[in-house]
Each structure stands twice: as C-alpha cells, then as structure tokens.
Copies of this chain bind each other. A is one copy, B any other.
Amino acid sequence: MKDLAKKLGANIRAKRKEKGLAQDKFAELADLDRSYVGRIERGETNITVDKLYILTQVLGCHARDLLP
C-alpha cells in the first residue's frame, strides 16, 4: 500500500534529480503545488493516474519508467 507510494515517489525523485531539476521548478513545470510534489516524493500520498502522466511528461519519460 504505502510501500507502492514510497517506491513511486523515490523513482520520481530520482528522475527529477537526473534532470537536474529542483523540486519547486519541477512543481512549477507540472503546474502543481511544491508542497504537494514533496509529499508525492516522500510517498505520503497516493496519486491519481492523470497526475502520474503529468509528471512523466515533465520528466520526459514513460509511466512504466516510474512504476515499481
């Protein structure tokens, strides 16, 4: 359950860092609140599929690259 969100968040964070993006720049590009992106990366929330897609678009990757 929470494990899934944690792993997904870690993958998102890794991809973001790979891109050299700061959390707030990332949030801005995804048109999401920075504190919310923080929660996602920490695995504190269980995101919807459409948000996942928005993040993949900003990260320039596919959902399958982020899903555990």
Residues of A within 8 A of B (CB): 1, 4-5, 8, 46-50, 52-53, 63-64, 67
CB proximity of A1 to chain B, nearest CB, Å: 6
CB of B49 within 8 A of CB of A49, answer: yes
CB of A52 within 8 A of CB of B49, answer: yes
CA–CA, A50 to B53, complex, Å?
15
When distances are taken between beta carbons in the complex, the residues of chain B under 8 Å from A4 are: 49-50, 53
When distances are taken between beta carbons in the complex, the residues of chain B under 8 Å from A5 are: 49-50
When distances are taken between beta carbons in the complex, the residues of chain B under 8 Å from A52 are: 49
Given the contacts A64-B63, A64-B67, A67-B63, A47 and B48 also touching, CB distance less than 8 Å = yes
